[in-house]
Each structure stands twice: as structure tokens, then as C-alpha cells.
Amino acid sequence: MKKVRKAVIPVAGMGTRFLPVTKAVAKEMLPIIDKPTLHYIIEEAVQSGIEEILLITNSYKKVIEDYFDQSYELEHRLSEKGKTKEVELVQSISKLARIYTIRQGEPLGSGHAILLAKNFVGDEPFAVMYGDDLMMYEKPVLRQLIDIYEKYDASVIGAKKVTEDVVERYGIIDLEDSKTGKIKTIVEKPKREEAPSLYAGLGRYIVKPEIFSILEQLKTGAGGEYQFTDAMKEMMTKEPFYMCEMDGTYYDIGNQFGYLKATIDYALKRDDLKEQISEYIHEIAKEK
């Protein structure tokens, strides 16, 4: 069985739900306190054993390329001022992993973006991580998916249980076998009464390279875009897929409330901030 060594992170979406800031700042670069969301996601990849990462970006997102590159000028200026700790911090970012970028000319959908990774991936299984789906975890979530891949030698979809009132927003997993987590299919945004389960597929995948021949033939789906989920759905008719119920907290930072929740939760985990922020939360809760 081939090892999962590579991850593809599409970050070329328009971020329409987070306008106007996304007019100039990629949503994947919005900071959760002092680190961009994408930085946390890349750390999760590295902690999961990923060695090479391809970011699918676009011409408006140069800042992403700059952030993960070396920054000689800043390092030089900081070291001139004797700020050794800060130099180390800045240097550590470009040393996280081998990070490559490729540009998606037009935001034609996640399926279109991931197809651009074909040459990078070659004939290996690979991870897909959405750049706006952030996970807080004890054990790196992508590692949890890789463990399932290694158990079954099959593609894997990361999922979390959601409440009935929100199934209409997600791709809901229809399980063939609830014991092993073998998937029958995915139902896109089902009505509450038609949802086959409460498991939503959320932003982490391990996929075998056979997906690329499907992506090459893919037709547009929801929103007139090439949807990665549609390609996986087709692949499920030929090859096994398993679900990994992800142990961790999920944040969709592509919407405002998800972003705010992540900011608060991460602050509550930080030794230098947790007391202040929790006092502040208690204080304003009393006033409301």
C-alpha cells in the first residue's frame, strides 16, 4: 500500500460569504488571533506526516505565496534589532514543509481546482484539505483519516455528526455499513426528512489518484461549478470509500459565526490569553 505523503489545499475560492474583506484578503489568511487559518491547516498536515503540499491559489492571493516563502528583508531587519525569537518564528513558517503553489485561472469550483494537482500527485493516494475548514484537535485530524486509509486501503471522507436542522447545508453520508463506516453514497444538501444520516462530509479527504480521470470528465454541478463531491460520488460507484468520524472541533471560517467561534475557542486555549478572555466573556454575559 502506498503511503499518503502529499496534500492538496485549494485556496482559490472567491470567499463571497466573507465579503467585503475577501475583496483584498484571502479568507484562508484571516487570522485566528495571530496566525492565518491556513497556517493551522498546514501544521495539521505536517503533524499528520504529510511531506509535500500543493496550494491551489490565484493571482489575487499572492499574499499566501509570500507568507509561506522565506522573507529575507524582514529576517534581516529583525536580526539587526537583535530580535532572535522573532527571527526564529518567521523562519519556522517557511520551513514547515515543502510547499508548492499553482494558480487556478478562474474559480470554477473545488473539482476544477483539485484537477490542477494531477501532475503534483502522480499515482499516489493524497490528502485534500479545504483551506477554510479549521479543526481543533488532540490527535491531528488528517492523521485520523490516514489511519482509516491504511486500515482499508481505500479512499476516506472526514465527517462529523451534525444536528437535524442543518443537514440541508451539507453533503450527508449514506452508510452501507455503520460498523466499518463503509459509504454507499453522499446526498448533497438533503431535506431534513430525506437525510440518510446525520454525518456531514467536512473538508478533509484521502483520495486515490483514480479520481483524476473522473475529474477530467466531470460536468458542472451545484452553482454551475465543478464540484469535488460529485467526482467522489461517481468514484464511489466503482471503488470503496470509508468515513472517518473526526475527533475534534470543526470550524467553517468561511462564514462569520464560524470564524468568531474559532477565534474565541483558540484564545481560550492560549496560556497568554485564556484568563483575560474568559473574564471578559463572563463580564459581557452578565451585562446582556
How many residues are recorded in the chain?
A: 288
Which residue from 130, 199, 241, 251 is in contact with ligand UTP, where contact means CB under 6 A? 130
The answer to whether residue 215 forms part of the interface with ligand UTP (CB under 6 A) is no
Q: Please, which of residues 56-95 interact with ligand UTP by CB under 6 A?
A: 56
**Under rule CB under 6 A, residue 221 binds ligand UTP:** no
With binding defined as CB under 6 A, does residue 14 bind ligand UTP?
Answer: yes
Alpha carbon distances (Å) from 154 to 2, 20, 185: 11, 41, 15
Q: Between 140 and 203, name the residue whose CB sits nearer to ligand UTP.
A: 203
Q: Closest by alpha carbon to 90, among 111, 67, 107, 106?
A: 67
Phi, psi of 164 (to 5 degrees): -55, -35
Among the residue ranges 13-21, 29-37, 160-168, 268-276, the one whose residues contact ligand UTP (CB under 6 A): 13-21
Binding residues for ligand UTP restricted to 39-58, rule: CB under 6 A: 56
Distance of CA 283 to the CA centre of its chain: 34
Q: DSSP characters for 126-195?
A: EEEE-TTEEEE-SS-HHHHHHHHHHHHTSEEEEEEE--GGGGGGSEEEEEEETTTTEEEEEEES--GGG-
CB of 81 to ligand UTP, least distance (A): 36
Q: Are 98 and 120 spatial neighbours (Cβ–Cβ below 8 Å)?
A: no
**Nearer CB in complex with ligand UTP: 109/181:** 109
- Report the SS3 class of residue 36: strand
Binding of residue 132 to ligand UTP (CB under 6 A) = yes
**Under the criterion CB under 6 A, does residue 113 sit at the interface with ligand UTP?**
yes
| 171 is a site residue for ligand UTP (CB under 6 A) | no
Per-residue contact flags (x/-) with ligand UTP for residues 237 to 256, judged by CB under 6 A: -----------------x--
In this chain, which of 11, 41, 141, 172 binds ligand UTP, going by CB under 6 A?
Answer: 11
> DSSP letter at 238?
T
The CB-side HSE value for 231 (13 A sphere, CA atoms) comes to 27
Interface with ligand UTP (CB under 6 A)? 10-17, 28, 56, 104, 107-110, 112-113, 130-132, 254
